[in-house]
Chain A
Amino acid sequence: MYKLQAQAVSVWYGTHQALFNVSLSLERNQILALIGPSGCGKSTFLRLFNRMNDFIPDFRLAGKVLIDGEDIYAPGVDPVLLRRRVGMVFQKPTPFPFSIYENVAYGLRLQNRLPENLIRERVEQALQQAALWDEVKDKLKKSALSLSGGQQQRLCIARALAIRPSLILMDEPTSALDPISTAKIEELLTDLKRYYTIVIVTHNMQQAARISDYTAFFKDGYLIECDRTKDFFTNPKHPETLRYITGRFG
């Protein structure tokens, strides 16, 4: 069974149609990169999987979005509970102005009261998975805002991992970071793949080529091409894809 599937998905914001009849499937423990020029619908597509588009007024959807075979837009599905199973990392690091520890514990404290020692354990695990533990283990009570931009972004990843999601969505997670921090996060992603399925929006084609197993190219709301990353970049089937990856537009 596929980890996630979009079946003939179209999306409107009011009268503006943002996605046209997009279908795509991804197996578990894979990284899918979404690329395309600004405004092509890749972020909209990403945010379908944790229903973050629901917050945009006049959002409308046709088609089906499935996670583990379950229709997440079916009536009776609680988007709040869905978001607890899907981690999200945004473009700009968004640490809460609390301590490092409380940031990672945030998602855990939203659910049933867990004993503090269990929370501490999960916080440590998440920070280790996000390759941040060694840098912060002596200052967990310090403000998260005292961290560098790259560390803040890894903290946000740790925060998303702490609730043990099965799917992680990333919206250009490295576009606000320097190359060294970017390299760290890319390395981290390839590690995380063992436990999680990851969908990542990126502006950076090299990044898509470096880290992803599948690449999907969007343009003007259409999914132009989706293929294994190595085939996608070496042997694109669609002329638009070729034009894009050779840098002729976008």
Chain B
Amino acid sequence: MPSPLLKRPSKRWREGALTLLVSAISWSMLVVLVGVIGFLVYQGGKVLSWEFLTTPMQEGMQAGGIAPPLVGSLWVSTLALLIGAILGTATGAYLSEFSSKGHLHHLIELLVNTLAGIPSIVYGLFGMALFVVVLGFGASILSGALTLSLLSLPILIRNAQEAFSSISTDLKLASLGMGASPVQTFWRITLRLAFPRLITGYVLAMGRLLGETAPILFTVAAYYLPAYPHSPLEPTMMLPYHLYALITSGTNITQTYPMAFGTALVLVSITLLLTVAAAILRFRLKKHLHV
């Protein structure tokens, strides 16, 4: 029998119950994730093969692979990420490191928040009006990538802002105290140390961009174009839209159904791979930086 000082109070069961509840919920999340992927594998796993990934569609879209939309998706998302990362990181750097927190700062913050709340189909519409029509890029990889990069901007700006402001002020001041200019301090300390976090943000944004459908509908995605693009001014097929086409437009659903799930599985796998790659890269970079 423990002494009264050490005796477990009877209310302690609440703590146990709460811990149990919270862990049960997080485990069920894992079950959901595994369930989704398991379902995709079950439905689409049988069509997966090297040929599926590397050959074009055949017999309309009822046979063959998904190489053109796969290549198209990678093209558009990579280009979109490149544009978005440059603009987003620069804006994030301004907001976090260089702005004097005046009116312009608050205006940009407001715009970023608004941008984040706009439905993706509206981006699609805007992209079509501006890039496709007014700027005359036509339905093309460039138009699609520009539209997607706009969509990725709020995420990338926030990501950069948080990455930069997470770097300790003491280190930034130490650098300034050494006689580094604010710009030198940004390049040599802030950007360098924030790099692992930036990269993670880029990769997660890429995963998000790969799956976007609405913004590419009117700006780049071709319904059926079994060829590989030769220039950024050409349209291309893309995975999300191809998936939509496979499910909704086929006449031979028994044949296209597994192909649709195979396509979905490829999309999800790329995102998963990117996430894992980001984690590894971040780990490596951190080790390299001694942080």
Contacts and interface: CB of A to CB of B under 8 A. Distances in A.
A85 B177 CA distance: 10
Contact of B290 (A81, A97, A160): A97
Interface centre among B173, B177, B291 (most CB of A within 10 A): B177
A59 to B, nearest CB: 13
Interface in B269-291: 289-291
Contacts of A52: 173, 176-177
A206 B90 CA distance: 49
Given A97-B193, A145-B290, A90 B170 contact: yes
B177 A97 contact: no
B174 A96 contact: yes
B170 A159 contact: no
Contact of A84 (B174, B175, B179): B179
B166 interface: no
B171 A94 contact: yes
Q: Is the interface of B mostly helix, strand, loop or mixed?
A: helix
Contact of B176 (A83, A99, A145, A156): A83
Interface in A25-59: 50, 52, 55, 57
B174 A90 contact: yes
A163 B291 CA distance: 25
A235 B119 CA distance: 76
Nearest to B170: A94
B180 A98 contact: no
Contact of A107 (B171, B178, B290): B178
A80 interface: yes
A106 interface: yes
Interface residues of B, number: 20
A4 interface: no
For A81, A85, A96, the residue with the greatest tally of chain B CB atoms inside 10 Å of its CB is A96
A123 interface: no
A67 interface: no
Interface in B52-78: none
A249 B266 CA distance: 72
Interface in B163-189: 168, 170-171, 173-181, 184, 188-189
Contacts of A90: 170, 173-174, 177
Contacts of B290: 97-99, 143-146
B97 to A, nearest CB: 12
A163 B176 CA distance: 13
A181 to B, nearest CB: 19
A116 B41 CA distance: 56
